[in-house]
């Protein structure tokens, strides 16, 4: 797994993907921070996290994950992975953690912004900042795992990114779906249980719930498991 992780992490920086992902995160975080916190004189960074949350779902994660397995399949280098002295689970985890680390380092810009606020004599709301950071990592970890899964299904990076975008877009609309089915009690309850936005908002408020952590980690494990099964089925074709 470590060898795959190092190879993939290096590949993300050999290509422009990692730099483009960071540029998106830094640009939108900096733009909102300047317009709302600096010009508006606000110390609350929840708005910055809000824009990072939306940008991550709709742009960053689809771009970050679109090539993870699609490129291997298109270039026919996936056969080397199948015959390498590492399990398919190790291959999937190595690629997942490489993409996840690139994302985590990009979102860490929020701590730099918090230090800037502290330099102006204000006290950042560290509980909210840490809660938001943990929440966005767990939520985006779900999306990275889902994007990796979609990448195993096709050799087209565009289709992989499109599937991940569509999945993320549906997640954004989940709360609206709950209101649409408000008269169907069991369906409304199921939708609310699966609503990642509701769970993320609890982190944003600074409350780190073990139940929410387990939910996000379970969803990640599910998509990673599905990715392994897809690769395993292709290995024997």
Mean pLDDT over all residues of the chain?
A: 83
Residue appearing with tokens 């599937």: 163
What's the whole-number mean pLDDT along residues 54-75?
Answer: 84
Choice between 224 and 34, residue whose per-residue pLDDT is larger:
224
Could you tell me the pTM of the whole model? 0.89
Q: How far is CA 19 from the centre of its chain?
A: 16
Tell me the CA distances in angstroms from 197 to 26, 64, 91, one per residue in order.
22, 21, 30
Q: Give the pLDDT band (50/70/90) at residue 211.
A: confident
Q: 138: which 2 tokens?
A: 């767990």
Hey, where are the domains in the chain? 2-235
Q: Which residues, including other chains, have CB under 8 Å from residue 165's CB and lie 6 or more apart?
A: 58, 62
Tally the C-alpha atoms within 13 A of residue 77's C-alpha that lie toward its C-beta. Answer: 8
Q: What is the predicted pLDDT for the residue at 221?
A: 94
């Amino acid at each position: 797994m470590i060898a795959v992780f190092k190879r993939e992490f290096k590949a993300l920086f050999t290509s422009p993907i990692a730099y483009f992902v960071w540029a998106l995160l830094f640009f939108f975080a900096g733009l909102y921070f300047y317009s709302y916190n600096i010009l508006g004189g606000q110390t609350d960074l929840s708005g910055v996290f809000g824009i990072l949350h939306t940008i991550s779902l709709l742009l960053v994660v689809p771009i970050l994950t679109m090539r993870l397995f699609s490129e291997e399949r298109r270039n026919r280098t996936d056969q080397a992975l199948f015959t390498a002295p590492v399990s398919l689970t190790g291959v999937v985890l190595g690629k997942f953690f490489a993409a996840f680390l690139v994302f985590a380092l990009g979102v860490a810009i929020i701590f730099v912004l918090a230090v800037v606020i502290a330099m102006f004599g204000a006290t950042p709301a560290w509980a909210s900042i840490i809660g938001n950071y943990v929440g966005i990592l767990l939520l985006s970890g779900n999306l990275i795992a889902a994007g990796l899964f979609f990448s195993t299904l096709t050799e087209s990076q565009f289709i992989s990114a499109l599937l991940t975008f569509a999945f993320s877009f549906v997640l954004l609309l989940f709360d609206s779906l709950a209101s649409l089915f408000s008269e169907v009690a069991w369906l409304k309850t199921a939708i609310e249980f699966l609503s990642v936005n509701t769970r993320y908002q609890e982190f944003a408020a600074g409350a780190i719930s073990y139940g929410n952590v387990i939910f996000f980690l379970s969803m990640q494990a599910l998509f990673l498991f599905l990715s392994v099964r897809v690769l395993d089925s292709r290995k024997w074709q």
